[in-house]
Amino acid sequence: MGAPLTAIAIGPSPLLDLAGRTPLIRLSRIERDCPGVELYGKAEFHNPGGSVKDRPARRMLLEGLASGQLRPGKVILDATSGNTGIAYAMFGAALGYPVSLCVPANVTPERKRMLMAYGVDLVLTDPLEGSDGAIREARRRYQADPERYFYPDQYNNDFNWRAHYETTAPEILEQTGGRLTHFVAGLGTSGTFMGVGRRLREWKPDVVLASVQPDGPLHGLEGLKHMSTAIVPGIYDPGLADVDIQVETEEAFAMTRRLAREEGLLVGISSGANVVAATRLARPPAVVVTVLCDTGSRYLSERFWEAS
């Protein structure tokens, strides 16, 4: 074993203030699939770490600092399929804390390289177990040495969804001028859907909330969970959604290509799945907002880009 990791906490970094306030982009060409509907994507790839996960990672770390659970000498530990891990790595570096992440071995090479670039202690878990295997390994490590780690446990941390309740949802309401009729988001940790959905439900009880997940346990939609066959996040409430839409991997791939080639938006696969679901759901007149979760530059090694 190498020398123990140490941290020098330097206080909150200005980098943390850059998360949020992302633009809302109208998907004018994709709208042609559903005449009479306004379709918008919340461009979360504009966050400093390139994904929607910057918001909850920031909030969970700040809460850890405020409570004293994250203090000098601690290592930030969690399970991730990549994006939350990149956010932890970025913010951890800015704050002066080392980061250890359990990640499925089959995440894209781009994500692994980004994590290594930030100096993360990367623990690759069984690809056949997906994010569940990473969760089990993170739990095992924390239970074996709880004094060593600050373990936010993003799948069970209420500050995950609260970050979206307090920031993402109000931004969407402001940016749509309160005209929103439908909100569509994928389920991974479920934090985005739960946080935004709860805030929107309070604002307008008849708003349509649609969750999105893969159509089966063996899928290629990184970051999304097939809830009936996976470890269900503790923060997930299936009763919030008015409708749950299942999306096939290939149709998500096709939409991700379309977003790049028709809208000029290089986004990731879960974004493609969200837009597929949004077009399937919407009926005129409607103002539909979905989430463009991350940048497509994290998936350029995937072969689906080569299709015509």
**Residues catalogued as catalytic:** 53, 270
Using only the alpha carbons of the chain, give its radius of gyration. Answer: 19
Residue 276 makes CB contacts below 8 A (sequence gap 6+) with 247, 251, 252, 255
Tokens at residue 57, please? 């990672």
Pairing verdict, β 149-150 and 75-79: parallel
Collapsing DSSP states into helix, strand and coil, what is residue 99?
strand
The secondary structure of the chain in percent helix, strand, coil, rounded to multiples of 5, reads 45, 20, 40
Sign of CA dihedral 63, 270, 21, 260: positive
Sign of CA dihedral 68, 15, 83, 101: negative
